[in-house]
Structure 1
Amino acid sequence: MPIDVAKALAAEPRRTELSWGFKDVLLYHLGIGATELRYALEGPGLQVIPSFCTVAGGALAAAGGLSMPGVDVDLAAVLHGGQRIELHRPIPVEGAAVQASRIAAVHDKGKAAVIILRSEVTDAEGPLWTSDTEIFVRGEGGFGGERGSSVREPAPEGDPEREVLRATREDQALLYRLSGDWNPLHADPEFAKRAGFDRPILHGLCSYGIVLRGVVDTLFSGDVARVRAYSTRFAGVFFPGETLRIRMWSAAPGRVQVSATAVERDDAPVLTDVVVEYH
């Protein structure tokens, strides 16, 4: 069986040294369209959008999870299903840390398996962030394992309290990939056609960063330190040059529900089950 669940869960955490500097932060911010000076100018006023942790040190969690002991799957069957990050404190502009990654769970969804890769990042001052990457592997279910939780976020009620539009550039994916995701699906038109798309699609984690920036700028006046956690499911494709419609509802104290849709395609879902938790 391509996924040896017992072996995957029992494997020792894989430790990786991460380091980043202000240029990495600036490049990431430009990749998600954050051109305001608090995101795009080096110096004491530079803030780090928390979703930067998905690329810090060039760490692509999904790729790392597929090389863990007990996991041997066809990359063509793999989808990035969801992402959650929890911030223990603001991310520094310059950093050196150690990432410990392990398979936290493998769920049997019948026709597919879902791998949860947990990465805990610590620097000299202590825990910095924790991320959970949900890796959906088609054709690898049916092994008799636990299904895992199927609880979804309830649909927000009423009209959104805030709504913003975020236009993207035609070359947005070409900018974003410089932060470390070199998948040709996001850059090569011929490769994208072979994968079933009319043209290259934007990285899901790029949309993820754009949406968080929209929430931070709209609700928190650009104060990135207020973000405590951020989770989503990737629901559909988004093409460079399109516009994201970001809607926000206050779900409970310290919790905002969000939806992200593609304006030009009749508000087709891009991110769902989006929750931002804040201080």
Structure 2
Amino acid sequence: MALNHDLIGVESEPVEKSWTSKDTLLYAVGVGAGLDDPTAELAFTTENSAGVEQRVLPTFAVLASQGGRRSTELGDFDTAMLVHAEQGFELHRPLAPAGTVRITSTVTGMYDKGSAALVVIESRAVDPESGDPVITSRSSVFIRGEGGFGGSRGPASDWKAPERSPDHQVTYRTRPEQALLYRLSGDRNPLHSDPVFAARAGFPRPILHGLCTYGFTGRALLHTLADSDPARFAAMSARFSAPVFPGESLTVSMWVDGDTALFRTAKDDGTIVIDRGTARFRP
């Protein structure tokens, strides 16, 4: 088994991706919108409420910009050993409830972490008619058993939580069936539904999608720091640091400095599940 290092720096062929109003509504429900109060987030969960225009959660940008590279192109390895490590995106304009983008992706690095490899991919989603940028997405995957090839370990992060209490904390609970709902947005990885596959990866039961936890976190940032206005949400990035099991609660801690916020997300027992988070907002 080996990674395909020849992919580094090679842009993928462009692909078009479309989504519908139903897709963005289903995504919102999949990341907990309306869970405790079905009337609280109608702009994201309905398309026909009186006096309410449908809007899109900013973190849907990650799904909208996927499609340029498949994990199977990265090399020959056991997909049960692959986990999402980091995710970031920049929104160049708010997303429409239904739309189409043209996506290209480039593997920007394959880093040797000793017992594992870290693969970093940047995707660009543009308007297929004008060519104007819509989303820039950066993600990395951690592949156990694929390190030791003698490459660079990659750049180090200088992120550090402020030495003061968070300016805001928001807690959301997830449902026991949250992963079954979220997977309907497109990620059918059996790690999140099949107990046998989850056991192969070393988990006692299926875990929640990292991007579902990311979506819960994004909702907390949106409603707390951007007045629930997606047009003010410019960018978000973070590292996945521990698994979440469906049914667990998530607390998002935020430290604000002007138009930027640092954040992290933890479970009730204090385990940090999303770390080194940075978000940026427009006035």
Fold agreement, TM-score > 0.5: yes
1:260 to 256, 262, 265: 265
Give the CA deviation at 1:65.
4.2
**Matched letter for residue 116 of structure 1:** V
Q: Which residue of 2 aligns with 1:26?
A: 25
Residues 112 and 137 of structure 1 are in contact (CA less than 8 Å); yes or no, is this contact kept in structure 2? yes
How many corresponding residue pairs?
A: 271
Residue ranges of structure 1 left out of the alignment (5+ in a row): none
Give the CA deviation at 1:149.
0.7
Q: Which residue of 1 aligns with 2:197?
A: 191
CA distance in 2, matches of 1:177, 1:203: 8
**Matched letter for residue 252 of structure 2:** I
Residues 112 and 138 of structure 1 are in contact (CA less than 8 Å); yes or no, is this contact kept in structure 2? yes
Worse-superposed segment, 234-243 or 101-110? 101-110
Q: Is 1:45 matched with 2:53?
A: yes
Give the CA deviation at 1:241.
1.1
TM-score normalised by the chain length of structure 2:
0.89
Q: Is 1:173 matched with 2:179?
A: yes
Q: Which residue of 2 aligns with 1:3?
A: 3
Q: Is 1:201 matched with 2:200?
A: no
Q: Which residue of 1 aligns with 2:64?
A: 56
> Deviations for 1:149-195, whole angstroms, at most 9, x for unmatched residues?
11241122211111111011111111100001111221223433343
Give the CA deviation at 1:66.
2.1
**Matched letter for residue 3 of structure 2:** I
CA distance in 2, matches of 1:179, 1:20: 10
Give the CA deviation at 1:41.
1.2
Residues 17 and 97 of structure 1 are in contact (CA less than 8 Å); yes or no, is this contact kept in structure 2? yes
CA distance in 2, matches of 1:202, 1:223: 27
Q: Which residue of 1 aligns with 2:37?
A: none
Residue ranges of structure 2 left out of the alignment (5+ in a row): 35-40
Residues 85 and 230 of structure 1 are in contact (CA less than 8 Å); yes or no, is this contact kept in structure 2? yes
Q: Is 1:242 matched with 2:243?
A: no
Q: What SS does the aligned partner of 2:8 have?
A: helix
Q: Which residue of 2 aligns with 1:120?
A: 124
State the superposition RMSD in angstroms. Answer: 1.9
Q: Which residue of 2 aligns with 1:153?
A: 159
CA distance in 2, matches of 1:77, 1:29: 28
Residues 80 and 191 of structure 2 are in contact (CA less than 8 Å); yes or no, is this contact kept in structure 1? no
Q: Which residue of 2 aligns with 1:276?
A: 279
> Deviations for 1:198-244, whole angstroms, at most 9, x for unmatched residues?
32211000000000101111121101111111101101011111110
> Deviations for 1:122-158, whole angstroms, at most 9, x for unmatched residues?
1134110011110112222232322221124112221
